[in-house]
């Protein structure tokens, strides 16, 4: 059994793992590519007791790291987002440290807490601009929600729907990393589609996709900082679908933590010519992933 550790102040150490958690390896670790980012992601499912113990942790979280206009759009759609420096609020540290866990399906990739699976943790590397999916809520028979777009309410029901966050990372030459987060609902029955790009066609089997562009946001993280996403206190809108989930017959509030564990993109170690700050966003696709798992496999561009 692996014991989920408490925080470390240093940016080089993992936020949710101690050195004892990692078994020794006979082979040296593969070096991280210059344009690759390492993220640790934890999804917390909170019961009513947990929610009371958390109290007002947002007093310790910097919400002003997100521009005001974007924060208004997020709140209108039931989202709350902010950044915390190095040390998480004590109630969050307690939840992360008080449970025993075990390795997930992919060795060294995921830790799930035993019992009611209160915490699920992933640690993965992201190539620059690569689209990666994180399943926040697995497929549900039906998802009904109200979204706010430019002050107007729109209602829609999606069937056989799963709620995903699309993550893209863009390392900066000062060691920071820009993270683009886009909520999507993938719904309906998977169908085969033809995608054109790079002078060739390819076939994809996937569901219909609803992209919530008004809730897409960009955050800039330094090594060791954690991006925190949750629903608003009054559960509503798109946020209700992403941050509330029924487990064991009772509703649970969800919280998502994304920590920048490391990046090689730093002027101290990289020549200026290797910096790619002016490259456009890359729409490479890694769709069709399993819940709470990222795909690092290279895929050809969709040309979107």
- State yes or no: pLDDT of 58 exceeds 80: yes
The torsion angle over the Cα atoms of residues 272, 274, 275 and 279, rounded to 10 degrees, is 140
pLDDT at 125: 87
**What is the enclosing helix (H) or strand (E) of 243?**
helix 237-243
Alpha-carbon span 161 to 130, nearest angstrom: 23
Alpha helices per DSSP H over 42-182: 48-54, 68-76, 90-97
The 10s digit of each residue's pLDDT in 174-195 is 889 999 999 999 999 888 776 6
The 10s digit of each residue's pLDDT in 191-223 is 877 666 666 777 677 788 999 999 999 999 998
Alpha-carbon span 215 to 198, nearest angstrom: 30
| Global pTM exceeds 0.85 | no
Alpha-carbon span 277 to 275, nearest angstrom: 6
- State yes or no: pLDDT of 20 exceeds 80: no
Q: 260: how many CB neighbours lie within 10 A of its CB?
A: 27
Alpha-carbon span 187 to 199, nearest angstrom: 29
Token code pair at residue 191: 């169908």
Tell me the β-bridge partners of 36. Answer: 127
Residues with Cβ within 8 Å of 124's Cβ and at least 6 positions away in sequence, in order, are 38, 39, 41, 109, 132, 294, 296
Cα–Cα separations (whole angstroms), residue 198 to 82, 184, 218, 303? 38, 25, 28, 7
Alpha-carbon span 43 to 170, nearest angstrom: 22
Cα–Cα separations (whole angstroms), residue 149 to 39, 156, 217? 31, 13, 15
The 10s digit of each residue's pLDDT in 127-150 is 899 899 999 999 999 999 999 998
Token code pair at residue 179: 């993270």
Long-range contacts made by residues 269-272, C-beta under 8 angstroms, separation at least 24?
A: 270/34, 270/173, 272/173
Strands (E), 172-265: 177-197, 200-211, 217-221, 226-231, 244-247, 250-263
- State yes or no: pLDDT of 35 exceeds 60: yes
Each domain of the chain, given as residue ranges in start order, spans: 2-18+35-274
Decide: 163 and 170 in contact? Cβ < 8 Å.
no
CA atoms within 13 A on the CB side of 4: 27
pLDDT at 301: 41
For 182-210, give one letter per residue: b (16+ CB within 10 A) or e: bbbbbbeeeeeeebeeeeeeeeeeebbeb
Alpha-carbon span 183 to 212, nearest angstrom: 6
């Amino acid at each position: 059994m692996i014991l989920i550790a408490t925080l470390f102040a240093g940016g080089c150490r993992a936020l949710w793992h101690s050195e004892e958690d990692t078994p020794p390896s006979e082979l040296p670790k593969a070096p991280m590519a210059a344009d690759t980012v390492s993220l640790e992601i934890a999804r917390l499912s909170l019961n009513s007791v947990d929610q009371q113990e958390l109290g007002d942790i947002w007093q310790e979280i910097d919400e002003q790291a997100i521009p005001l206009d974007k924060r208004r759009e997020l709140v209108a759609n039931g989202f709350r987002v902010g950044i915390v420096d190095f040390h998480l609020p004590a109630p969050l540290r307690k939840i992360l440290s008080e449970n025993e866990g075990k390795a997930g399906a992919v060795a060294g990739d995921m830790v799930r807490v035993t019992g009611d699976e209160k915490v699920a943790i992933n640690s993965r590397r992201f190539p620059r601009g690569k689209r990666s999916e994180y399943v926040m809520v697995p497929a549900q028979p039906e998802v009904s929600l109200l979204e706010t777009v430019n002050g107007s309410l729109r209602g829609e029901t999606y069937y056989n729907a799963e709620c995903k966050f699309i993550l893209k990372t863009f390392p900066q030459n000062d060691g920071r990393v820009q993270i683009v987060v886009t909520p999507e609902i993938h719904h309906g029955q998977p169908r085969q589609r033809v995608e054109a790009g790079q002078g060739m066609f390819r076939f994809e089997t996937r569901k219909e996709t609803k992209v919530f562009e008004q809730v897409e946001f960009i955050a800039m993280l330094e090594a060791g900082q954690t991006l925190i996403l949750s629903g608003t206190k009054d559960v509503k809108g798109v946020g209700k679908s992403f941050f509330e989930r029924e487990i064991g017959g009772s509703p649970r509030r969800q919280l998502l933590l994304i920590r920048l564990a490391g990046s090689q993109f730093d002027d101290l170690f990289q020549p200026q010519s290797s910096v790619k700050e002016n490259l456009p966003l890359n729409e490479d696709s890694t769709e069709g992933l399993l819940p709470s798992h990222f795909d690092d496999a290279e895929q050809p561009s969709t040309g979107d």
